Amino acid sequence: MNPSNLLKQLAALGMAAATIGLTANTVQAAPASKTIRVLSAAGVDAASPEAAIWNKAPATQIALQAAFPGHGSIVGTPVTERITAQAVRAGDRLFVKLAWNDRNANTAIKDTGQFVDGAAVQFPVNGKADTTPFMGDPVNAVNVWHWRADGRTENLVAKGFGTSTRVPFEGLKGTAVRTNSGWAVVMSRSLKVKPDEGASLSGKGTMPVAFAAWDGDNQERDGLKAVTLEWWQLRF
């Protein structure tokens, strides 16, 4: 083969390889869709984590990271690395199921060094994704559904770090079971609430949502938690 032709073919192969590599890198760099699809199922009761409807609802695995250290009291590293989320709409009620690994059940605070396991679902009260997922800010509040392993499920509103306030609301329910690997929890609430009770959900389109988990065995509490650092989307 003519040396000049060989060089030309080698150059062409190199360009093709570079193009293939660029294409592969471009595909790999594309952000994954951070969407949790809500299953609509009229007339079902999804309150129990063991309800049959959860076998049909799409399950999405979500990576968690250490919460942003908004104040000096947040010291330590959370241990929960991922959580599985599902959602079901039954009539005018939304059910959100969270499941995650947790080797030990911490269900009571016995002294100042022991804390309970927990999980939370967070929504922007205004429904907008430009609200900061870090507990909101003075202008844009967030609504947090907070389940605690001591049996409490709290409806909270926050406007920034350290501002979480419990808002009485009997319509928020939480049910949990221990699994072979940890916890499975369902929190549920009517889609629409009064303006001072939290975030109303239209039940249409998408709604920003974020998640958190606390491992009491690791002395996690308050701002020491594993979280999503950006909004996901519930798609109705």
Q: What is the pLDDT along the chain (236 residues), one digit of tens a residue?
A: 444 443 344 344 333 333 333 233 222 233 457 999 999 999 999 999 999 999 999 999 999 999 987 777 678 999 999 999 999 999 999 999 999 999 999 999 877 778 999 999 999 999 999 999 999 999 999 999 999 999 999 999 999 988 999 998 999 999 999 999 999 999 999 999 999 999 999 989 999 999 999 999 999 999 999 999 999 999 99
Q: How many CB atoms lie within 10 A of CB 203?
A: 17
- With residue 172 as reference, give the H or E element that holds it: none
Which residues touch 78 (CB under 8 Å, ≥6 apart)?
A: 64, 66, 67, 213, 214, 215, 218, 220, 224, 225, 226
Which residues touch 107 (CB under 8 Å, ≥6 apart)?
A: 116, 117, 149, 150, 151
Domain boundaries, the chain: 1-30, 35-235
8 A C-beta contact, residue 212 and residue 204: no
- Tell me, what amino acid is at 150? D
pTM of the model: 0.84
- Tell me, what amino acid is at 81? E
CATH placement of domain 35-235: 2.60.40.1190
